[in-house]
Structure 1
Amino acid sequence: MTLSEQGKTALITGSYGGLGTQFVNIHASRDGDLILVGRNEEKLKAQQKEVQEKYKVSAHIIAIDLSKADAAQTIYDTCKTNNWKVDYLINNAGFGGQGEFAKRSMEEDMSMIAVNIETPTRLVKLFLPDFIARHHGRILNVSSTAAIMPGPLQAVYYATKAYVTSWSDALWREVQGTGVTVTCLMPGAMQTGFISRGDLSSTQLFANAVKPDNVAKAGYDGMLEGKLNVVAGLTAAQKPFMSMAPMLPKKMLLDNVYKMQEQGSRKKK
């Protein structure tokens, strides 16, 4: 990181747990201040205290439910009211959920769309003009390798990540020459709270999930470099599958993804 990157403030959604914690620690370790965003105020306060004591940086918190339609506006207004200038926007928060679309609840899937698509879109819509006006700013949107294919038994999740990747890539081109960059991180299967929240622990897909630390570093460094896409954290099984996926007949691809995501598929031979 260059000297010009030091002391920048990063707003990170889903800041506690898994990938979010790694982003926070990486940024703080490089003398960066933080705005920590998540739903659980107690967890945010504990993270704030730990970060400030360990890294001697400033950390503010915003406790908010990111599935609410006004969440992004509230975050933006809070930053403006307190004169917290955001240099890096890391849209990390997101969740999935296993099960047939027809059997999952309306609330589960609409909340997923709100957290994975609507709120990140609103946040970028609000902060990007400020970045462009200052001729500096970096955006990192966390997508997934799931973005490149349909995902039976996680139909809505895969579709949300396809949106995030397509949208991020389009913005990467739109901001060329403005001093602003937009990067999309596409992780493989990771050992995070995503597994338990999505009820995915018994699936073949997450049988050999990787730790999130190297994934976060790859994404953060890719953001600083202004990369288009950063693919990181693929398991040994995912690497050949990802290279073959675009060439597989669509029905065969759908069958393979379905089998990987069946409950109990981890134990099947």
Structure 2
Amino acid sequence: MNTVTGKTALVTGASSGIGQEIAKLLAKDGYNLVLVARSDDTLERLSEVFKGNYDTQQITIIKKDLSEEDAAQDVYNQVKAKGITVNVLVNDAGVGLYGLFGTDTDWEREKAMIHLNVLALTQMTKLFLYDMLIRNEGKILNLASLLSITPSPLMAVYAGTKAYVYNFTQSLINELKDTNVTITALLPNATDTDFFNKAGAQNTKITDELQDPVMVAKDGYEALMAGKPKVIPGGLKNKSYEVLAYVAPQEALASLMHDKMLQKPEPDAEQEKKTTLAWGIGFGLAVVTGIAIGIAYKNANALDRARYRYKAKSAGNSISDALSSVVDAVVDAYQNTKTKAEHLVSKGEDKAVDLEAEVAA
């Protein structure tokens, strides 16, 4: 495509997954590239592909493990020494770790994860953002996650790091509002990369819902180029999680995410559990969403009440989509759950006081 000439994008985690797909889109649009990852062999092969397919003029490869101390500073120093101006920064590199925090997971791996997901991303942003502000030009994409806005038992530290990334990015958006520098948070759902294998979560139920990294990268890239503050790829189903994150109690969200992160049941037990799970989660989410909206509605002014009425309607329309991955194999049970959930949420305002009293009792 080659629509951009003379500009350079730096992509961390470029050797695979979402990072590789975003690097491909940048190459198609004519950006020169700085590719950062632990595997230089993979990056060398990727460089040849980009040069052959997209006529990319300049590709710089930096082999670096960003979980190491001062790795981000070293990357920045190498870029400056080569006289490269980074116009676009994509902070994609990140890892996860699966298991119970108190008993299962290893602290050294968690410490390295925090360093990579939080410290390296923050330092990379600080170093390159300073140069962008001097030029008053630049774009940054930070890879957050849908787990940025929901608790996630069994991946508690990972979810915590992504909550930091999202909050950090949204804070910088406000700081940068009077400049020509933009920063965007990408919040994908579970994506079909090597992430779950490396995290030790390859047999969890969430892996039945994996999304296409090409789609995720495309949505993230378009949001980056448009300077949007955030993007949740995947349509209504994933955006409904955002609605639930704002209106449902955190305990209910934690229970929902805990179930998704459990190991897949044995084949004989799976069919038996799906119908019960569909009813239980669907009914529970409808009730807690109604309670959350109802309590807030009771104490709100007229303008806020109008907003809550809209949220209640939105939640009712989207709950079935949020649960669709759980109940694909039990269509009849799903339809009944959807009907009951919509019925409960639509009556959330009228029964808010009664529900509040019932919870208190």
The answer to whether the superposition gives a TM-score over 0.5 is yes
Shift of 1:206: 2.1
CA distance in 1, matches of 2:109, 2:236: 28
| Partner of residue 169, structure 1 | 170
Paired residues in the alignment total: 267
- Mapped contact 1:204–1:266 kept (Cα < 8 A): no
CA distance in 1, matches of 2:194, 2:205: 17
CA distance in 1, matches of 2:182, 2:252: 37
Q: Deviations over 1:226-250 (max 9, x none)?
A: 10111113695x5544432332232
Which residues in structure 2 correspond to 1:1-269 (within 5 Å)? 5-57=4-56, 58-102=58-102, 103-233=104-234, 236=237, 238=238, 240-264=240-264, 268=270, 269=274
Shift of 1:266: 8.9
Shift of 1:39: 0.5
- Mapped contact 1:12–1:90 kept (Cα < 8 A): yes
The one-letter code of the counterpart of 2:89 is L
**TM-score normalised to the size of structure 1?**
0.93
Indicate the structure whose relative CO is greater, using CA pairs within 8 Å and at least 6 residues apart: 1
CA distance in 1, matches of 2:19, 2:266: 27
Q: Where do 5+ consecutive residues of structure 2 fail to align?
A: 275-361
Moved more, 167-176 or 248-257: 248-257
CA distance in 1, matches of 2:13, 2:182: 21
When you count strand as a share of all residues, which structure comes out higher? 1
CA distance in 2, matches of 1:194, 1:266: 23
- Mapped contact 1:189–1:233 kept (Cα < 8 A): no
The one-letter code of the counterpart of 2:52 is E
When you count helix as a share of all residues, which structure comes out higher? 2
When the two chains are superposed, the root-mean-square deviation of aligned CA atoms in Å is 1.9
CA distance in 2, matches of 1:203, 1:65: 27
Shift of 1:252: 2.2
CA distance in 1, matches of 2:239, 2:30: 35
CA distance in 1, matches of 2:266, 2:153: 16
CA distance in 2, matches of 1:256, 1:68: 34
1:137 to 1:265, Cα distance in 2 relative to 1, 3 A: farther
- Mapped contact 2:64–2:71 kept (Cα < 8 A): yes
The one-letter code of the counterpart of 1:33 is N
Shift of 1:51: 1.4
**TM-score normalised to the size of structure 2?**
0.70
The one-letter code of the counterpart of 2:221 is Y
Q: Deviations over 1:143-201 (max 9, x none)?
A: 00100011110000101010000000111111122211111111111101112112223
